[in-house]
Each structure stands twice: as C-alpha cells, then as structure tokens.
Amino acid sequence: MKTSYERLRRTIGKLAYERRYNVRTAELIELDELGIAGAGRGYYVAASWRTLRRTLSRKEITPKDVFVDFGSGMGRMVLEAARFDFGRVVGVELSGQLHEIAQDNVRRTRQRLRCRDIELLQTDVLAYEMPDDISVVFFNNPFQGPVFETVIDRLVATIDRNPRQIKIIYYNPVEERTILGTGRAELVRELVHARRRTAGSPFGLTKVFALS
C-alpha cells in the first residue's frame, strides 16, 4: 500500500507541474513511434522537474552562462533552465514531433521565464555547431556509443578554444566512462532520483561532472 501511495503521490506531483505551467512534457514515447529509432537510442521520457533545482545553485548562474540540453524532447529542462538567470538556453532535438511540442510549451510560458533568449533547434546533434561559451550541459541519456563520444570530444574542443569549466548534469548516466575517459573531467556530485533503483545501475541516478 505504501508503494502504491508513493507512486500515486509522485504522479499527482508531475501532473501538478504540467497544470501549473500549462505545458505538455510528461509522456513516455518509444522512438520508433517518432521515426528516429536507432542504435544507441532508447525512448523519450522527461527528467524530473526538480533535477536542475537539485543540481544548480541560483547564485552560481549569471547572464554570462549558457545552458544546452542535448535531446531536449518536449522542452521540460529547457523551461526549467530558463527559470534561472542564464544568458541563453538552447535545446537540441532530433524529433520534429517533440520539437514542435517544445516550441508550443515555450510559447505558453515565455513571459514567466527569467531567461528570454531561448533557442530550440530541430537537428541531429552531430550537425550542431557547438558555441564556445557553453557552461552547463544536460543529458537525459539521449544517445550512447560513438554519438555520445563525439559530443563529448566536441565539448572538450570548445574548452581548448575558450578555456573554462563546463558543468555536465547527466540523468541516468550510462556513458559515465566516456566522460571520465577524457582525463579532463571529475565527478563532483551524485544524486538518487529513483527510490526503487537497482544497485550498480546508472538508471535512477543523476551525476554532475566538471569538465575542463
């Protein structure tokens, strides 16, 4: 009974956010339904609304900071990031269907957001030209393998061009070894976001890395 109650309470909490912000972000969709299924891709489901609030301090974010969500889906983390004082918030999403939903969500809430410079891009992440001022990156296990390795290599390249530190917030960190394997990153924080997670599994965790 307790487990059923907790599950119901979490569901009600998620729906409350949707209703409060008048957005649609809570669905779970298999990628073959979106026409983008492929190796290293799983399904679309949004991260918890509280993820950024648990991993970022408002005091550490300034208008000089740039947030990028790779695999931004319906835009939940874009909306949450835009409630901080980022100078720019970017969402990169492959699915045209999810991209259109994200655009609608941003239109509905833009006037309530701190950051007004929000850019939603419908493109393959490998075609995205990374700017040299990215300071915070978010992954919700959007892709794995060679694609993830390439994205991390390109982030490192931006640091080589413009020395700085990038904070990586990784929800369900399947490719942690790729990040640490650069020799340029360290794990700075780990949070449990699923109460009934399997020990030793990356699912149910959020890990924060500093890449420099």
- pLDDT digits over 147-184, tens only? 999 999 999 999 999 999 999 999 999 999 999 999 99
Range of the domain at 115: 2-211
- In whole angstroms, what is the distance from residue 56 CA to residue 33 CA? 33
Confidence of residue 1 (pLDDT cuts 50, 70, 90): very low
Q: What is the mean pLDDT of residues 1-26?
A: 57
pLDDT at 10 over 80: no
Two tokens, residue 73: 């889906």
130 DSSP 8-state letter: -
Per the listing, tokens 């900071």 go with 65
The pTM (predicted TM-score) of the whole model is 0.85
Query: What tens digit of pLDDT does each residue of 62-71 get?
Result: 999 999 999 9
And the tokens for 157?
């390249």
Crossing angle of the two packed helices 2-21 and 96-109, in degrees rounded to 10: 70
pLDDT of residue 130: 96
> What proportion of the chain, given as a percentage, has pLDDT over 70?
82
Structural domain count, the chain: 1
Q: What percent of the chain has a predicted confidence (pLDDT) above 90?
A: 68
CA angle at residue 16 from 11 to 19, to 5 degrees? 130
Q: Any idea what the CATH number is for the domain that residue 139 is in?
A: 3.40.50.150
| Range in 15-24, 52-61, 142-151, 159-168 the model is least confident about | 15-24
pLDDT score recorded for residue 60: 94
How do 205-211 and 185-192 pair as beta strands?
A: antiparallel
